[in-house]
Structure 1
């Protein structure tokens, strides 16, 4: 299996710790990293890029000191190696206009309002990672036990049909 990363970005340490705790079940199959600022997130992405680890999913807060989460997600969408990254906005403060801007720039795959429920967050993460893996991974079989089994098996069946197997 290829190495993929999940990156959580929030300027509030307690929120970041809570998100990390809620998704720690993914650590066995994904690299899970945290960043407290956009500049730290960019540094983490660059470090893993050098190790050829793809950013599969980013969970990002909106209101942060140096740059908004939405402008960061739009920026990631413009980079070749992060354009396919699944992007989730996790915030209690994004206004409708901000959210519409993110959706219109195809920079947002999902929106979760704070406060969230741990199970809801895990389900969204699993769904987004399933989409990412189906779109970006050739060998899907190892992911059957890790992600959405039904969607992975359907994708395998579709690929076989595409190749006339």
Structure 2
């Protein structure tokens, strides 16, 4: 199990390890882990830490913090532009522990997914998905009393 969260350009990683015997084995194992990362990206060396897994088991994990390389990766797409778009033109939609492809078919069926006929995120005449542009429009879209398209 590996856990990664992006914090201000850094990605701390935490992963459960099999049992390691002795300090020598521990140092060798941490060196092997360190070798898996770009040396220029390492912010803090790998170290062993006590952790609790999602099932409640207590174990030993390794923790390492690396710089994010987002400038090297193309971001998105996050949302389909049309309900005919497939998974290659979309992101994911997490819901109750399951990840769904947020493709056009998914967006088209959100009213069924949430059993709410008001979940209409697209123009039924054109299939165009309603998107916001910019931070202000996005913030307005989170408020139920504001139409961000006006």
TM-score (norm: length of structure 2): 0.25
* Larger strand fraction of residues: 2
Higher share in helix: 1
Mark the structure with the bigger radius of gyration: 2
Higher relative contact order (CA 8 A, sep 6+): 1
TM-score (norm 1): 0.23
